[in-house]
């Protein structure tokens, strides 16, 4: 998988400081969204979770620690790269996955992003506002998170792999329970109910997981 398949949220001032990276990443084919302040970055992540966040704190005239903490508290598994100025006094940022001190080139930043892309994608699945970690069985949706059972995690992953498509109850049961016995799939319905309780804002009026009567379920993203 190519590094520039990564969806990137870069929090960076639109003022020119000599070390602006957003436009260079866009030219190199990355899927980039730009936020020009920490609060705008949090809102952008809430609207659609990226696969990695780059905070150019130097361009924002801050050390970036508060922005990093905001993001980390909301999304514990979200990879964060924090960029600071050459003269910045901080030497570590515990909430960031990587601390980079200027000056450096865009290629160095891309190399760091590539490492996260290879390591994280193996167990992180993202569709729309949903970010599922199949190692921890934690799902993030907007600013909420929920711990799932292993079966619910597998069920959500199966639906995330085919978003906006109607999946039959029998096919879901075969895939998640790894069995060809599909005479009684009521346990699937129970797990769908649990999953709705975890990810829906109002489980009694679900918007994400739709019941298609007589067929199965559809994940609306």
Mean pLDDT of 187-207: 95
pTM reported for the whole predicted model: 0.59
Q: Is the pLDDT of residue 119 over 80?
A: no
Q: Rank 138-142, 145-149, 189-193 by mean pLDDT and report only the highest.
A: 189-193
Give the pLDDT of residue 6.
80
Q: Which of 37-46, 61-70, 74-83 has the lowest mean pLDDT?
A: 74-83
- Token output for 213: 């009567």
According to the CATH classification, is domain 142-219 in 3.30.70.1020?
no
- Token output for 130: 């949903």
Give the pLDDT of residue 127.
85
- Token output for 203: 């489980």
Give the pLDDT of residue 47.
85
74: Cα separation from own chain's centroid: 11
Closest C-alpha to 148, from 171, 164, 131: 131
Q: Which of 31-35, 139-143, 193-197 has the lowest mean pLDDT?
A: 139-143
Q: Give the confidence band of 24 by pLDDT, cuts at 50, 70, 90.
A: very high
pLDDT digits (tens, 9 = 90+) for 146-184: 999 999 999 999 999 999 999 999 999 999 998 888 778
Q: Is the pLDDT of residue 1 over 80?
A: no
Concatenate the DSSP letters of all residues of the chain into one string: --GGGSEEEEE--SS--S---HHHHHHTT-EEEEESSHHHHHHHHHHS--SEEEEETTTTTS--HHHHHHHHHH-TT--EEEEE-TT------TTSSEEEESS--HHHHHHHHHHHHHHHTTTEEEETTEEEETTTTEEEETTEEEE--HHHHHHHHHHHTSTTSEEEHHHHHHHHHT-S--S--HHHHHHHHHHHHHH-SSTTS-SSEEEETTTEEEE--
Q: Considering the chain, what is the average pLDDT of its residues?
A: 89
Q: Rank 6-10, 19-23, 80-84, 121-125 by mean pLDDT and report only the highest.
A: 80-84
Q: Where in the chain is the domain with CATH 3.40.50.2300?
A: 3-120
- Token output for 78: 């979200």
Calpha distance 211→26 (Å, rounded)? 39
Q: Where in the chain is the domain with CATH 1.10.10.10?
A: 142-219
Q: Is the pLDDT of residue 38 over 80?
A: yes
Higher pLDDT: 46 or 220? It is: 220
Q: Is the pLDDT of residue 3 over 60?
A: no
Q: Is the pLDDT of residue 123 over 80?
A: no
Give the pLDDT of residue 122.
64
To the nearest 10 degrees (0 to 180), the angle between helices 169-177 and 150-160 is 130
Domain 3-120 sits in CATH at: 3.40.50.2300
Q: Is the pLDDT of residue 116 over 80?
A: no
Cis before 212? omega within 30? no
Q: Is the pLDDT of residue 58 over 80?
A: yes
């Amino acid at each position: 998988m190519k590094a520039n398949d990564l969806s990137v949220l870069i929090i960076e001032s639109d003022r020119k400081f000599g070390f602006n990276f957003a436009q260079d990443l866009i030219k190199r084919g990355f899927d980039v969204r730009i936020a020009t302040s920490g609060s705008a970055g949090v809102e952008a992540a809430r609207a659609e979770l990226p696969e990695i966040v780059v905070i150019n704190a130097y361009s924002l005239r801050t050390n970036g620690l508060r922005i990093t903490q905001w993001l980390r508290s909301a999304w514990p598994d979200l990879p964060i790269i924090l960029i600071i100025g050459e003269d910045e006094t901080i030497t570590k940022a515990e909430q960031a996955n990587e601390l980079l001190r200027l000056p450096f080139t865009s290629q160095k930043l891309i190399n760091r992003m590539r490492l996260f892309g290879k390591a994280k994608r193996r167990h992180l699945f993202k569709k729309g506002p949903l970010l599922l970690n199949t190692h921890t069985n934690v799902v993030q949706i907007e600013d909420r998170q929920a711990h799932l059972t292993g079966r619910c995690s597998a069920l959500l992953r199966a639906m995330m792999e085919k978003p906006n498509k109607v999946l039959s109850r029998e096919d879901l049961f075969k895939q998640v329970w790894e069995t060809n016995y599909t005479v009684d799939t009521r346990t699937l319905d129970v797990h769908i109910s649990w999953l709705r309780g975890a990810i829906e804002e109002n489980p009694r009026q679900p918007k994400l997981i739709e019941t298609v009567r007589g067929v199965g379920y559809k994940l609306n993203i």
